[in-house]
Amino acid sequence: MGRAGASAPRKDPRRAPLDDGGRAAPPARLMNEHAEERLRKAVLEAKLFGEPHDAPRIGRFMLRRRIGAGAMGAVYEAHDAQLDRLVAIKLVRREDEANARTDRLLREARALARLSHPHVITVYEAGLWEGGLFVAMELVRGGTLQEWLDARPRGAREALGMFLAAGRGLAAAHTCGLIHRDFKPGNVLVGEDERPRVADFGLVRLTGESSSNEGESPAIADMFSTATGAVLGTPAYMAPEQLEGARVDARADQFSFCVALYEALCGASPFAGEARAERRRRIHEGDVTPPAEGRTPPRRVIEVVRRGLSADPEARYPSMDALLDALEAAGRPAFPRGASLAGGALAAALGLGVAMMVGRTNVPVPQEAPPFTYADAPRDAALLSAARRVAPRDPTVAALLLLEVEAPERHREWSALAADVLSQPLARFIWNDTRLSTTTPGKDVVLLHDLNGALLARSPDSGRELLRRSGGVWGMVHPRGDELLVQTRQGLEAWPLGRTTEAPSWRGASPKLAAVSVGQGRELFAVATDGSVLHWDETRPAAPAVLRTVGKTSTIASTAILPEAGVVGVFWPGQSIDVWPLRGSAPPRRLEVGREGFSAASLSNSGDAAVGFEDGSLRLFFAGSRAPITIRGHTSKIRHVRFSDAGERLAAWAEDGTTRVWDVKTPQSRETPTVLPAHEATRALMDAEGRVLLSGSMDKTGVARAWNLATREVVVLRGHAEDGGHVTLSPDGTWAFSGSIHNTARAWRLASATTAHAFGHAAPIWAAEVHGDRLATASQDGTARIWHIGEAGAPREAAVLPSAPATRVFLATFSPDGRRVATSSNDGKARLWNTDGSGAAVVLDGHEEWAYALSFAPDGRALFTGSKRGCIRRFRVEGGAPEIVHCQARQQGIPTQVNHITLSPDGRLGVAALASGHLVLWENGGAEVSRAPRVIPAHGDVAQALAFSPDGRRLVSVGRDRKVRVWDPAFDTAPRDLVGHEGAVYHARFSPDGRRLVTSSADGTARIWPIEGEEAPVVLKGHEGWVVWAEFDGAGRRVVTSSYDGTARLWNLDEPTTPRVLRGHWGPLRYAAFAREGRRVITASMDGTVRSWDVTEEPVERLQKRLREATRACLSARQRMKLLGEDATAAAARASGCER
């Protein structure tokens, strides 16, 4: 394959793909000769005229140059005009006679595009173009793993570390149901960042599909052979079942992986043989080639590899994850400080087609690692590996794995993982093979169904089974908490809770019931499916009295019995609501809802009704009042409506994800409801007092959220793999229960505030700033807010600073003394507020378009503002007309927005970064700008941010052109460029001593650069999305980063390989900063929430105690087999022996 600036790689016949007869595969044909000719013409024009005038385009991708060709087609470097990034475009020829086969290849490419992993090459897009198939993916610069191995002798620790990383990528593919079928070192890319990426998925197969060649895409078939019955793959690495043309699964990739690892460690192929028959014989006989002379691979590692090389797939490890865990347990490598790591072992990535590599053949050689050490406790290493994998989606299971680690003090990442999971809510109990009952639980009782249909009552605190009733259709806990009412085929029964009994304390004859409610004392009310309203008085006779009939339930959507109000509500689908007197013969009160029908409705215990509609409006029907009251605010269909038991509070969830809560008895509240941040809610509940809302989501995240309206905090409940939308809430709001379609249920105690996020904004937070013990946030909801940061718990909202209606607030910044806050918004105005919220805002007007950037002078007497139009103004804080510093001349198609303004520490120099890539510099003298500003072209694309060093001797600018530029503020010398980021750079901040700089980038990394000398930067890698903010703590020993992956990470620069992950927000993070002298980290998210994290280090013993106190759940046998690779017998024994 061709690569710019690289010599042709050394040919190795043993590694070349062959057909079944040993012939070399035929060369690839160009996808489209016309496109190729246009590309050559464009390259020629670029050489002659400096730019391509007519470069071919595929949608938004502009092809720039051909960088290689493989068996499946050609590879081009291209520019993604929409997202401003370089990508690799794979063009595959489409055979006219094989449309169905091309469709298959397209489906396989799109299957890869669904694979999302921090260390997986991203497939951006795939489709058909000018008669062929194209696949757009991440462009990687570097070499292959084979070239990395050949560059110089590699020790066991280096090779094993690299293969463990590649294996994690392969395991990620298996998780998505994808089988590689051609894993080998030549199909693994090692970028300049030292990160391996599994590539060349030309033979990818969806799990469960046949492995025969029939129906193969022609491009795939051409890779090795077009002969009927040919076996596809590279024979030297193929599993025996693949060599024989049988159906293969993920264990075939495991075999190939172990062949490649054995070669790397031993310097010889494990089953060398010129003839394929000889190789098959050696595999089946287990005749493994000894290590080459001078090679002494780790014995325990080789033992693990030997199992992966078993001829029988059943004898291999059950999964790639199990194999990798065993390898880590056999010997985990220690990595150097300067290496680019991802939370332990290097991570891996996946690609498609030929290796998409440009740049150097010789990959940079990392500095030598410390001596290789074996894990003292192999099982501990396996537990840590499993905890690391599962922590993002299920912190409770991760906690259970961490509790089994026997020597946590020996593993440096144990404490970071423990702190991570303890910063999230943990389920008190997990009940497997059960379903959560749809009925309301009791105060200290949760209702479940087992897989045999029995109804179970359990204590959520102790987990103890209180009652089991076979044949129970549904049940409800009596408000007194001492009995369970159960509907069976025999009738309605009452069972005492907490006492062992063989028979119910009462059984009432009843038809099939649609609704049941408890009245005074022991009396019961019910509505039967025939519409009869039934009543059992406190004596509980066997036969109920029939109070009245309200209509057959075959035409009724639902019913509600409200004994306190003395009414029965009957909801007619999409038509009306009838409110019947519970007793007597009086006709119902019909609530007319109009022709459009209603989408949701609720009745309160006082007889009030709330009805939601498709247009987002609500109507309130108060008992005793004829005319309804209309409430507006939502703009989409109302999905759920809930009253509190007392009827004083009403919550409504809309289809657009917004939630509003009204105190309906207070007219003012109807105009100013509490608005919750947008979130998915497919089921929603409220406790009796209206203090806690619980919402569940049936999407793939399986997330539930509990909102405390009194403290304005929300906790995010993670754990279900998907469909956690089935939720129930205890009447007092202290317990939440969640269930999923996978027959698991969980109990969550909601009392803890240590894992809560604060909410107040109803829309994304765009910017935030910490000043002492206060936080300012700016939001798209048109407000800025001031929060108090305490030593514990979530931030407390101290003031709301509203701008004009229908505006968005872009920035909020404190004055140097902290007494004022300035905000900028899209109405062209800046505003000055008192930090305590007192008094009216001082409006600073003058910009014709959005006011965007803000910066106070160091003495606080002036405020500089920048607009979307490119104008910079200086306002005196004490009043007076503004002074125009500069207005950038507008040019067609070139943005001029002022992105950032900063002033030197002494305030004498001001600098602005423009979207045009220019910097504007001016000098401040006394009450005005002393001389005309200078405009300097600094970046080839948007100039994003600026930072002065603490002494003011250096200025750094960063931009979307990936450049980090260090300037002398006099601008009389050329800048020093710090090169390394592979994506737009968004933020820069100096260390307190000014000797280091941290930058954050769209390439998913932050980098620590030494300002003096040529030392390589420390790369902080692990985020799964853009890193948009990074800053040092006050001592310069730690860095916090925030990312669009929804997490912040805390990096100890003495050990930057094991960051602590701050996880819990469900939206991208815009900001993270240290507060309270470094004891806390504050994060602000586009989900509208803020969070304060305790980042003080705790001893291992304290963390263990907190884990034991937080959860009493146990790992199931199924989880143990899946996560730890335990056999069925051992897993069952350990699961049954678990007691907490």
Rounded average pLDDT over 381-400: 90
386 or 926: which leads in pLDDT: 386
701 or 122: which leads in pLDDT: 122
**Residue ranges of E strands in 267-370:** 357-358
Whole-number pLDDT of residue 1140: 59
Whole-number pLDDT of residue 84: 67
User: How many Å apart are CA 370 and CA 372, to the nearest integer?
Assistant: 6
3-state secondary structure at position 528: strand
Q: Would the pLDDT of 811 be above 50?
A: yes
Whole-number pLDDT of residue 270: 94
Q: Binding-site residues, please?
A: 90
Instruction: Return the amino acid letter for 117.
Output: H
Check: CB of residue 266 under 8 Å from CB of residue 297: yes
Instruction: Provide long-range contacts, Cβ within 8 A and 24+ apart, for 973-976.
Output: 975/938
Least confident of 53-67, 235-249, 756-770: 53-67
Check: CB of residue 1097 under 8 Å from CB of residue 1103: no
Q: Would the pLDDT of 483 be above 70?
A: yes
Rounded to whole angstroms, what are the CA distances from 368 to 158, 335, 339?
9, 9, 10
Which two three-digit tokens encode residue 372?
A: 């290789």
Instruction: Provide long-range contacts, Cβ within 8 A and 24+ apart, for 1112-1118.
Output: 1112/428, 1112/429, 1112/463, 1112/1140, 1113/396, 1113/400, 1113/427, 1113/428, 1113/429, 1113/430, 1113/746, 1113/1140, 1114/400, 1114/430, 1114/1138, 1114/1139, 1114/1140, 1115/397, 1115/400, 1115/401, 1116/430, 1116/432, 1118/432
Whole-number pLDDT of residue 1057: 82
Residue 1129 backbone phi and psi in degrees, to 5: -65, -50
Whole-number pLDDT of residue 18: 31
Give every CB contact of residue 563 below 8 A, 6+ residues apart in sequence.
517, 518, 519, 520, 523, 525, 582
Bridge partner list, 68:
75
Q: Would the pLDDT of 357 be above 70?
A: no
Q: How confident is the model at residue 1030 (pLDDT cuts 50, 70, 90)?
A: very high
Q: Would the pLDDT of 104 be above 80?
A: no
Least confident of 280-289, 459-468, 499-508, 716-725: 716-725
User: How many Å apart are CA 616 and CA 631, to the nearest integer?
Assistant: 9
Whole-number pLDDT of residue 721: 66
Whole-number pLDDT of residue 1079: 95
Neighbour-count burial for 260-294, b at 16+ CB within 10 Å, e otherwise? bbbbbbbbbbbbebeebeebbebbeeeebbebeee
557 or 1117: which leads in pLDDT: 1117
Q: Any catalytic annotation for residue 249?
A: no
Whole-number pLDDT of residue 19: 34
Instruction: Return the amino acid letter for 574.
Output: G
DSSP H or E segment with residue 777: strand 774-779
Whole-number pLDDT of residue 112: 67
User: How many Å apart are CA 665 and CA 766, to the nearest integer?
Assistant: 35
Instruction: Return the amino acid letter for 218.
Output: P
Q: Would the pLDDT of 356 be above 60?
A: no
Check: CB of residue 885 under 8 Å from CB of residue 898: no
Minimal CA–CA distance to 378: which of 411, 403, 418? 411
3-state secondary structure at position 632: coil
824 or 351: which leads in pLDDT: 824
Rounded average pLDDT over 227-232: 38
Rounded average pLDDT over 332-356: 35
Whole-number pLDDT of residue 205: 54
Whole-number pLDDT of residue 1055: 85
Rounded average pLDDT over 263-268: 94
Q: Would the pLDDT of 250 be above 50?
A: yes
Q: How confident is the model at residue 60 (pLDDT cuts 50, 70, 90)?
A: confident
Which two three-digit tokens encode residue 231?
A: 């076996």
Q: Would the pLDDT of 255 be above 90?
A: yes
User: How many Å apart are CA 970 and CA 993, to the nearest integer?
Assistant: 21
Whole-number pLDDT of residue 119: 56
pLDDT tens-digit series, residues 500-558: 788 899 998 877 888 899 988 889 999 988 889 999 998 999 999 999 988 765 555 67
Check: CB of residue 988 under 8 Å from CB of residue 947: yes
3-state secondary structure at position 263: helix
Rounded average pLDDT over 707-726: 82
pTM: 0.70
Rounded average pLDDT over 245-251: 88
Least confident of 174-183, 561-570, 617-626, 924-933: 924-933
Whole-number pLDDT of residue 723: 57
Burial class (CB in 10 A: 0-12, 13-18, 19+), 242: buried
End-to-end CA distance of the chain: 58
Check: CB of residue 761 under 8 Å from CB of residue 783: yes
Q: What percent of the chain has pLDDT over 90?
A: 43
Whole-number pLDDT of residue 216: 35
CA 547 to chain centre: 54
Which two three-digit tokens encode residue 1082?
A: 């504050």
Rounded average pLDDT over 955-981: 94
Which two three-digit tokens encode residue 91?
A: 């063009």
Least confident of 67-81, 1014-1028, 1081-1095: 67-81
708 or 331: which leads in pLDDT: 708
Whole-number pLDDT of residue 278: 84
Whole-number pLDDT of residue 264: 95
Q: Would the pLDDT of 586 be above 50?
A: yes
User: How many Å apart are CA 352 and CA 217, to the nearest integer?
Assistant: 14
User: How many Å apart are CA 718 and CA 1030, to the nearest integer?
Assistant: 27
Residue owning tokens 């950038």 = 888
Torsion angle (degrees, nearest 10) of CA 198, 204, 208, 213: -150
Whole-number pLDDT of residue 144: 87
pLDDT tens-digit series, residues 914-940: 999 999 999 987 656 767 899 999 999
**Longest CA–CA separation in the chain, Å:** 101
Instruction: Return the amino acid letter for 520.
Output: Q
pLDDT tens-digit series, residues 835-887: 988 989 999 988 878 899 999 999 999 999 999 989 999 999 988 888 999 98
Q: Binding-site residues for ATP, please?
A: 90
Whole-number pLDDT of residue 34: 54
Pairing type for strands 851-856 and 765-771 reads unpaired
pLDDT tens-digit series, residues 419-458: 999 999 999 999 998 999 878 788 889 999 998 889 999 9
Q: What percent of the chain has pLDDT over 70?
A: 82
User: How many Å apart are CA 679 and CA 722, to the nearest integer?
Assistant: 16
Q: What region does 616 belong to: left with phi over 0, alpha with psi -120 to 50, or beta?
A: left
Domains in the chain: ranges and CATH: 33-361 (1.10.510.10), 380-425+1108-1136 (no CATH), 796-825+836-937 (2.130.10.10), 938-1097 (2.130.10.10)
Report the length, in residues, of the chain.
1140
Mean pLDDT of all residues belonging to the chain: 82
Residue 139: HSE in the Cβ half-sphere, 13 Å Cα cutoff: 24
Annotated active-site residue in 20, 96, 150, 182: 182
DSSP structure string for 819-831: SEEEEEETTS-EE
